Copies of this chain bind each other. A is one copy, B any other.
Amino acid sequence: MTPAKDHNLSSFLEPRGVAVIGSMREPMGEGLTLIRNMLDFGFSGKLYPISRSNTQVLGMKAYSTVNDVSDPIDLACVITPPPTVIPIIKQCGEKRIKAVIVSTEGYAEVGSEGAAQQRQLVETAHRYGIRILGPNTLGVFNSANSLITDPYPIIRNKPLPGGIGYASQTGLLTFGVHPLKDHGYPINKIVDFGNKSDINELDLLPYLADDPSTNVICMHLEDIRDGQGFLDVASKAAAQKPVLLYKPGRSEAGAKAASSHTGSLAGDDQVYDSAFKQAGVVRLRTWQEFWEIPKTLSMQPLPKGNRIAIVTATGGGGVISMDAAAEAGLTAATFSANTVSELNRLSPRLTKNPIDVGPLMSIRQSPFGIYEDVVPVVLRDPQVDCATFICHVSPPIVTVFARLAPEISKIGKPVTVFAYGIDLAEMRESARQLEARGLPVYLDLETAVKALGIAAAYSRVRARLQKQN
């Protein structure tokens, strides 16, 4: 009995009660670590440590099995040796738990024997109406209830709350091994598909599409087993919010490695590429883009077109940004006569795009004030759809952009900031302050521009998909 396709992921992401089944041994038992992570993040639901050897875990009552818990349990997190997993799944079935995250490793990722055990695991679960996330997964994170199911230490890495729904088929692209907090990505939910034995993109895309707190979906997939199903759910999701996809295996060597890693056919990349276009999914190309691009789409409105303006304190940066714009599908905005005349009043040297404010800064009383004069004029130009600001970050520039932020937001066109400087810690702190005011900041020039290119690409997609519906 396979659970119905409309079973959504709320038991996995919004559980009221969570049972944790794994080693509770100090100092690093996986069950214990998972509970510590939950307490550190501040999970708002109820936790039930399951342990045969402890009556108490971190001050909480522990239970021998899930069936000893009298409260209802929505989700069980299992990280125990492989031979114990199926008996535990059966106990979960008897307790009428509908969602189980299996973090245990040693299944399809280690060969055909493991794959057979994995199939058996899923079959057992489905007999009880249980859905499985994993195995070989770090599980999920949800910023709304501070749920975190990672069984390895991730203390101090709780992401900032925001709108991005991330999902990945590799631990490398989830919460386990990236400094999400240090980077300040605005995150709503994260799902690690692990071996993707049961719960997969077909389940998650509709859930995230309908989730009002997720405004961008960003997914890493190594394989897509049901192409038609994917097209269906992806195009529905993409009609509602941006769906960004990072699908490695573009090259022959990459596809071969993917096939060896996930144990499934990786498929021809061109077929994927045209399927993604058809579905309205926008493709990301690199690990860095996966992490850095979504925040702009989450924090900023979509552009109505692809005409970009650059306001820069460095002429050299202006040149580089124009290459980046062209390669991201953006064109340099030509300012309207009105804008040219307003800019000309400030200085005849400010009328061309990119606008190099650098030379003027050095002769002004308040050098950074030039951004306050120029930015609103440029953004209000009907021939400008979006803008990147290039500036040396420092407390005075943060003050200037903090003042500008409400006006930028009112104009309703997306912007990004490329921040340069000589002290990384200071740059990160300034970035954090600007992002708290809704302005996405990049420490890499080309990515700051590309983020707007991806936003414009999605904007075109959405117009097409909404016309079709």
Chain A residues in contact with chain B, CB under 8 A?
Answer: 105-106, 109-111, 154, 156-157, 168-173, 176-183, 220, 222, 248-254, 256-258, 260-262, 286-288, 314-320, 322-327, 331-332, 349, 352, 354, 356, 359, 362, 392, 420-425, 427-428, 444-446
Number of copies: 2
A265 nearest CB across to chain B (Å): 14
Among B111, B177, B222, B322, the residue within 8 A (CB) of A254 is B322
> How far apart sit A131 and B327, CA to CA, in the bound complex (Å)?
39
> How far apart sit A420 and B288, CA to CA, in the bound complex (Å)?
12
- Nearest 10 interchain pairs by C-beta: A170-B316, A251-B326, A254-B323, A261-B315, A182-B424, A254-B322, A253-B322, A157-B422, A253-B332, A257-B322
Among B109, B319, B325, B349, the residue within 8 A (CB) of A111 is B349
> How far apart sit A105 and B363, CA to CA, in the bound complex (Å)?
10
Contact B182 A326 (CB under 8 A): no
Contact A154 B349 (CB under 8 A): no
> How far apart sit A251 and B320, CA to CA, in the bound complex (Å)?
10
Contact B177 A423 (CB under 8 A): no
Contact A427 B179 (CB under 8 A): yes
* 17 residue pairs A–B, Cβ–Cβ below 8 Å: A106-B359, A170-B315, A172-B314, A177-B314, A179-B424, A179-B427, A248-B320, A252-B326, A253-B323, A254-B319, A254-B320, A254-B322, A256-B332, A260-B352, A262-B315, A287-B444, A288-B445
A78 nearest CB across to chain B (Å): 16
B-side contacts of A428, CB under 8 Å: 424
Contact A445 B253 (CB under 8 A): no
Among B251, B314, B318, the residue within 8 A (CB) of A327 is B251
A326's nearest neighbour on chain B, judged by CB, is B251
B-side contacts of A250, CB under 8 Å: 323, 326-327
Contact B359 A105 (CB under 8 A): yes
Given the known inter-chain contacts A156-B422, A421-B177, please indicate yes or no for A222 contacting B253, CB distance below 8 A.
Answer: no
